[in-house]
């Protein structure tokens, strides 16, 4: 019988009511597994402590990668939905070319709540992992999606994720994320103060710039970018599809002249994780 490794990180799927809102309940997933997969050989692991996905980042990604590497077979990761797309993109990039079967899942409502999607999502994740198809998968709302290419598009409905980004995967520059680096997404907006953009850029080792449309930006920010030429910066579109088209608009010329890279069809989540791995090279 195949042994499934299930790594529980936290998130809504395992939560229960607390005095100030939902809080993790460490035994919820274990109890559900007995009902959903009786007799299945499971190595059920938990992060200590369980965390809300709002607190998941490079440190947790590295801990997950260590456990995935140590697992003998398919792996399921239960995770909160708020940063599921970032974790999916990060694991997908770091595991590229290894042929692992890893399934992410979570839920919009906790296990054991009437009408919850949690039990069905967990059952779908188990069935998908037992299928053993290589890749990083998201089992959610009755669908199997490419976990490295999703974005969260709805904060309340069961159909919370949509496929975005590119399917292209490159051999990663590193297999772990340098937690000493500071990276982030910066969304350009009408009227954004140049000093504010400059302060954000100065605080980061690398940045993903979410720019307008096919690749434009306010002219008032050009000097700020030029002054930081050489800092790792990649642009992606704020639009959900279509990517960037350098040279299409004069309003975008300053981006490329300042050395900003074209993120093309990559989602913001993909771009951030790939840039982080690039900057994590020894």
The pLDDT value recorded for residue 1 is 74
The pLDDT value recorded for residue 159 is 96
The pLDDT value recorded for residue 69 is 97
74, two tokens? 């398919």
The pLDDT value recorded for residue 260 is 97
Low-confidence residues in the chain, pLDDT < 50: none
Domain spans in the chain, listed from the N-terminal domain onward:
4-163, 183-279
The pLDDT value recorded for residue 137 is 98
The alpha-carbon radius of gyration of the chain (Å, integer) is 20
Task: Please identify which residue in the block is written with the tokens 């790594």.
Answer: 7
| Contact (CB, 8 A) for 2 and 43 | no
The pLDDT value recorded for residue 265 is 92
**Element housing 21 (H / E):** strand 21-24
CATH code 3.40.50.40 for 183-279: yes
DSSP 8-state class, residue 229: T
CATH class of 4-163: alpha beta
| Residue 259 to residue 251: CA distance in whole angstroms | 15
The pLDDT value recorded for residue 169 is 79
3-state secondary structure of 99: coil
Q: Helices in the chain by DSSP H: which ranges?
A: 28-36, 58-70, 84-94, 118-131, 194-203, 222-226, 253-257, 268-279
Same CATH fold, 183-279 and 4-163? yes
The pLDDT value recorded for residue 275 is 97
């Amino acid at each position: 019988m195949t042994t499934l490794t299930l790594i529980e990180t936290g998130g809504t799927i395992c939560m229960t009511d607390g005095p100030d809102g939902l809080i993790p309940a460490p035994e919820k997933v274990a109890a559900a597994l007995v009902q959903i997969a009786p007799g299945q050989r499971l190595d059920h692991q938990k992060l200590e402590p369980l965390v809300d996905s709002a607190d998941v980042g490079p440190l947790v990604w590295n801990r997950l990668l260590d456990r995935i590497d140590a697992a003998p077979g398919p792996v399921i990761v239960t995770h909160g939905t708020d940063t599921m797309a970032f974790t999916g993109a990060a694991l997908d990039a770091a595991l590229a070319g290894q042929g692992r079967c890893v399934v992410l899942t979570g839920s919009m409502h906790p296990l054991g709540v009437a009408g919850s999607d949690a039990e069905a999502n967990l059952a779908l994740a188990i069935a998908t992992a037992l299928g053993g198809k290589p890749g990083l998968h998201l089992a959610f709302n009755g669908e199997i999606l490419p976990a490295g290419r999703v974005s969260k598009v709805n904060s309340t409905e069961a159909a919370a994720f949509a496929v975005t980004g590119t399917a292209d995967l490159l051999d990663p520059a590193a297999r772990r994320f340098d937690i000493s680096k500071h990276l982030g997404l910066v969304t350009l907006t009408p009227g954004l103060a140049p000093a504010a953009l400059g302060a954000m850029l100065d605080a980061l080792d690398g940045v993903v710039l979410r720019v307008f449309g096919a690749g434009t930006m306010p002219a008032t920010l050009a000097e700020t970018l030029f002054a930081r030429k050489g800092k790792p910066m990649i642009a992606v579109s704020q639009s959900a599809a279509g990517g960037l088209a350098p040279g299409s608009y004069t309003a975008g010329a300053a981006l490329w002249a300042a050395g900003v890279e074209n993120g093309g069809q990559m989602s913001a989540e993909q771009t951030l994780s790939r840039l982080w791995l690039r900057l994590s090279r020894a």
